[in-house]
Amino acid sequence: MAAPHPLPPPPALDDDPLCGDDCQLALYCCYELHYRPMAGVAEGWEWEPSLLAFRGTLERAFERRLRDDVGSAGPVGDVEAGLRRAIAGHDGPSLSGYAEHRATLGQLRELAVHRSAYQLKEADPHTWAIPRLTGRAKAAMVEIQFDEYGGGAEGQSHAELWATTMQALALDSSYGAYLDVLPGVTLATTNLISLFGLHRRLRGALVGHLATFEMTSVLPMGRYGAALERLGIGAEGRAFYDVHVEADAVHELVAIERLAGGLVAAEPALASEVVFGARALIAVENRFARHVLRCWEQGDSSLLDDLASASACPTG
């Protein structure tokens, strides 16, 4: 195990920082040092200045491409209206609609592998916002996150429920088991939350990301649950989706009125960043959905390799 030491300057980026496999994998691994131990990696690397400088290079390129990609929202005015305009502007394909009516069991297993990069640590990236918020917004964030962690009941956190869903699909539910088959377009969906969560200046974007997720998740979660039921997955394996359908219907109001509304009331200058977070979420999810559906329509796997070839990555 190599002790932390200064790294040489990294080579020039020749990969798309928005969704390239190499850039997103490197960024994901840098972020993982803040979440879980990595086998064979000394924990001191988490704060090694040269590694943080490398991560910063990746982050700046990622954020710059994100902002170029989604464009400016212009004057926001009412933040709820701004969020709803961002959602209404969604023009991507419906991955959940496909899953509900057409997906095979193999495709649902593949989709679960994609989502495992985030779902096995669900809520953790958003939790970085708690010490960075105050008043009404902070209280709302704590309320939402308390539910995400299963109300404090062991085994009931959403990440643990997701592990149960993976087991019901005969998948390895250990943390990071499928990292080596995840494309950059998948890793970008979770790196986005870590980017927002680990930078205090991006707290508005993180709030916009979470609020938008809560505002748009009930229908897709219901569809995914129906897809699993259609293919014979029992109630225990569907519990992750059932819980989200129930919880997010309540969270939507909390996120709009108290989380986003409370933040902007306290810090009006962050309104545009809240909407940026919403637009960024929609953009990366649309790109991910297009990738998956394009591969499936061509009869190909949307992963970098088939599941039988997947090997555990060095985390945990």
Q: How many CB atoms lie within 10 A of CB 198?
A: 16
pLDDT of the residue at 314? 38
Which amino acid is located at 22 in the chain? D
Domain regions of the chain by residue span: 21-309
Lookup: tokens for 125: 């990236």
What share of the chain has pLDDT > 70, as a percent? 97
Residue 285: C-alpha distances to residues 6, 17, 188, 212, 289 (Å)? 36, 16, 9, 12, 6
Average pLDDT over residues 264-270: 96
Task: Classify residue 37 by burial, with Cβ atoms within 10 Å: 0-12, 13-18, 19+.
Answer: middle
pLDDT at 140: 98
Burial 63-72 (b: 16+ CB within 10 A, else e): bebbeeebee
pLDDT at 308 over 70: no
Within the chain, what is the greatest distance between any pair of CA atoms? 53
Q: What share of the chain is helix, strand, coil (3-state, %, to 5)?
A: 70, 0, 30
Which has more pLDDT, 92 or 211?
211
How far apart, in Å, are the Cα atoms of 253 and each of 109, 134, 213, 245, 247? 32, 19, 12, 14, 11
At residue 261 the predicted structure's pLDDT band, cuts being 50, 70 and 90, is very high
Confidence of residue 75 (pLDDT cuts 50, 70, 90): confident
Structural contact between residues 83 and 256, judged by C-beta atoms closer than 8 angstroms: yes
In the numeric block, the tokens 């926001």 are attached to 76
Distance of alpha carbon 65 from alpha carbon 121, whole angstroms: 25
Q: Pick the residue with more confidence: 315 or 146?
A: 146
Provide CB contacts within 8 A for 49, sequence distance 6+: 6
Average pLDDT over residues 203-232: 97
Q: Which of 87-96, 101-110, 129-138 has the lowest mean pLDDT?
A: 87-96
| Cβ count near 144 (within 10 Å) | 24
Q: Which pLDDT belongs to residue 309? A: 55
Q: How many CA atoms lie within 13 A of 168 on its CB side?
A: 22
Q: Residue 315 — pLDDT band, cuts 50, 70, 90? A: very low
Q: Is the pLDDT of residue 312 over 50?
A: no
Query: Given this model, what pLDDT does residue 233 score?
Result: 98
The CATH architecture assigned to 21-309 reads: Up-down Bundle (1.20)
C-alpha dist (Å) from residue 164 to 126, 244, 316:
22, 14, 18
| Cβ pair 121, 197 in contact under 8 A | no
